[in-house]
Amino acid sequence: MAYSDWVQIFTLTAYLILFFGRTIGLRRQGTKVLVIGSGKQGFPALLEKSMIAFLGLALGMHVQIRNEEVFLLDQYGEPYRRYRSQVNQYI
């Protein structure tokens, strides 16, 4: 696996851990968890908004990296595969 694959796996895992941890923590405090911005103030409101932003960032990064990989493979084919295998030796 390439370095970018590990970055994607790590960001997705980090997001899921943060999302479920936040969800469980807020639910124990009695906060409605999956209702965006309804009556939350202070730290719970900040957590809600930051999770939405982080989800967008993680999904956007995943889509961008995959699109670039597909484009390079379509555009250059075998030379790109050789280059990628050489780069992966040093990662």
Chain segment 2-39, per-residue pLDDT in tens: 777 788 888 888 988 988 898 888 889 887 776 665 56
pTM over 0.85: no
pLDDT score at 75 = 76
Q: What is the 3-state secondary structure (H, E, C) of the chain?
A: CCHHHHHHHHHHHHHHHHHHHHHHHHHHCCCCCCCCCCCCCCHHHHHHHHHHHHHHHHHHHHHHHHHHHHHHHHHHCHHHHHHHHHHHHHC
